[in-house]
Structure 1
């Protein structure tokens, strides 16, 4: 699992470098207002991207099960079905967000002085959604058959290109936040197109022939079962973050800028835990498909141990380095922004164990054909987070810190539900 997970971890850490580079350059060279606008737009993009990722993860889970059972004909049919299904949804979403860009900006409670900057950024970023879909689609196909290294290599090239274009467009051409968006979109398309050609060239069973182009109702049902639930889980989880972003925006530009920076640090920190959860899910799915019960049990024990050790070390690191991490992105003179961001990192960073266990629970239930439970856990986490955020933030003595505290409380509640349910259903992995 660690050998498989490491490229996933490194790959998504590199993917976060898109956002880290943007935040660092924007914060240092374009100022607090631009940082607040890009950070708020980032939360929206995470929500939209989570829809594609959830669909692709579901399709990848089906391919994992079929690959474990050596069902290559089923893989081709799943490939055809998922490509048309997810591609069509991507196109529909792309059209809707471009047409509704102004209502979206208002829905996020964007301060009036930031609306024009957000529009300039979002209109370009939205044009990159097909590239985001294409990359994740082929990345999850390769990961489903045990190849997590190649997506990493293409992503590494894309990240380097993104950083170079950031400096060129912002410092050289003086394009402002539009330059940040253009750099990100161009880099995403490079990774997506390259990975697509590589996959089709090196994996013959992913190539569709004319004889494969036929409708299969069973395949559609299976893809919809996995992809829709995984998509709902991912999008609901990030919808909660988006709703919280609207509440954060109501506190003004300073809190927006602090949140934008701290969230990037936070996401970068626990991304390896999320990727380990995805690798754990692939491991369980392949062994579940092959009927290897004892190997599943050993995998669970090992995954819990690794997650516990890593999350505890991560908590010590992030809470101990909160100030210098914030000062990487904003000037030392922006003391209020730094202080607010440090409060966020102290609270979130102390409880990474909660999100680590939650990612394992998500992965386990997806792998043993119980994706609905992953959705239930997400709803428990989301519901607590959003409700408490609005309740606690309205108390003057607590204020914005109430938003920060609502997140680990949501993790803890979902963990409790997931562990209790596992105790009653753990014999599920004994049969296919």
Structure 2
């Protein structure tokens, strides 16, 4: 990824701790997804909020008070996820015990195994291609030096917060569509999709306005005493990405629809298309135009993906 030496040594110490704690991350994801799949989204949300609070408190203790640095942040993440995994398992065991299984449930079914592997491989390809693309984009940014890396890290944290609403919306649409498709109520599934689409578009517009008009404020909040070069690059990135951000939320709506409908290959193709455009344009133009190149490349990728998703959706209606 062309990471500068002064950054890579710190990143390695952080990642070693995070990777060692991945088992708790997988366990928490499994349990929280099981809760949402049976419609108990409230409990999943409360547990997630509890995880965020614990993580924040531990960050303050380990980093600000104990001065453990980046390793303290990693330990805070692993410990918070361990605690909420235990909490999630305890809640399921007490309130939704049918989700747990015993020896009598261990029956081998080839049909179910094939279906599970099929969905799992496609979903894994979707997620891995997304993050491989992000790594490649980060590599382009890393070529530009520490100031550019710092600006990009700060802005993507802000963007990630905004995008969490889109990801949550996609998941909500997916669950609703899947439940009604499984119940053979296609009309209600489509109504739920349209409702979710409207909500996410409104959220996307609102967050775009906040990101555009409060770009400087949010970057200053994320970083104390940032130099002028970091601020300029960060603000340019935020304002550029904000213009097209609503397309990200529209794309998330379609991802929810296709996942819930069982057409999990469509989001994979869309993600590969988006990432390919984003990576190619980033490496071609970042030297000339700086960090806003990444924002433009991302926006063009969203335009392409939403166009592709809509064409597939429109043709399926005929």
TM-score for the superposition, normalised by structure 1: 0.71
Q: Which runs of 5+ in 1 are unaligned?
A: 1-107, 428-432
Q: Which residue does the alignment assign to 1:345?
A: 238
Whether 1:307 aligns to 2:200 is yes
**SS of 1:304 mapped into structure 2:** helix
- Kept after mapping to 1: 8 A contact 2:233/2:290: no
**SS of 1:383 mapped into structure 2:** helix
Q: Distance in 1 between matches of 2:203 and 2:50?
A: 28
Q: Distance in 1 between matches of 2:208 and 2:65?
A: 39
Q: Distance in 1 between matches of 2:60 and 2:203?
A: 34
Pick closer, same or farther for the CA change 1:297–1:167 going to 2, 3 Å.
closer
Whether 1:320 aligns to 2:213 is yes
Q: Which stretch shows the higher mean deviation, 126-135 or 115-124?
A: 115-124
Q: Which residue does the alignment assign to 2:148?
A: 255
Question: CA shift at 1:293, angstroms?
Answer: 2.2
- Kept after mapping to 2: 8 A contact 1:330/1:338: no
Q: Which residue does the alignment assign to 2:308?
A: 417
Question: CA shift at 1:306, angstroms?
Answer: 1.7
Q: Which residue does the alignment assign to 2:159?
A: 266
Whether 1:286 aligns to 2:197 is no
Pick closer, same or farther for the CA change 1:210–1:351 going to 2, 3 Å.
same
Question: CA shift at 1:332, angstroms?
Answer: 4.1
- Kept after mapping to 1: 8 A contact 2:55/2:77: yes
Q: Distance in 2 between matches of 1:242 and 1:114?
A: 15
**SS of 1:328 mapped into structure 2:** helix
Q: Which residue does the alignment assign to 2:170?
A: 277
- Kept after mapping to 1: 8 A contact 2:152/2:291: no
Question: CA shift at 1:363, angstroms?
Answer: 1.2
Pick closer, same or farther for the CA change 1:150–1:293 going to 2, 3 Å.
same
- Kept after mapping to 1: 8 A contact 2:137/2:282: yes
Q: Which residue does the alignment assign to 1:206?
A: 99
- Kept after mapping to 2: 8 A contact 1:109/1:250: yes
Q: Deviations over 1:269-318 (max 9, x none)?
A: 12112211110111111111111122123223222222222211211111
Question: CA shift at 1:372, angstroms?
Answer: 0.9
Pick closer, same or farther for the CA change 1:308–1:152 going to 2, 3 Å.
closer
- Kept after mapping to 2: 8 A contact 1:266/1:349: no
Q: Which residue does the alignment assign to 1:70?
A: none
What is the 5 A alignment of 1:381-392?
381-392=274-285
Q: Which stretch shows the higher mean deviation, 415-424 or 233-242?
A: 233-242
What is the 5 A alignment of 1:93-132?
108-132=1-25
Q: Distance in 1 between matches of 2:169 and 2:115?
A: 25
Q: Which residue does the alignment assign to 1:167?
A: 60
Pick closer, same or farther for the CA change 1:114–1:300 going to 2, 3 Å.
closer
Question: CA shift at 1:399, angstroms?
Answer: 3.4
Aligned partner (choices 224, 231, 234) of residue 124 of structure 2: 231
Q: Which runs of 5+ in 2 are unaligned?
A: none
- Kept after mapping to 2: 8 A contact 1:365/1:371: yes
Q: Distance in 2 between matches of 1:302 and 1:334?
A: 44
TM-score for the superposition, normalised by structure 2: 0.95
Whether 1:143 aligns to 2:36 is yes
**SS of 2:170 mapped into structure 1:** helix
Alignment length, in residue pairs?
318
Q: Distance in 2 between matches of 1:345 and 1:333?
A: 15
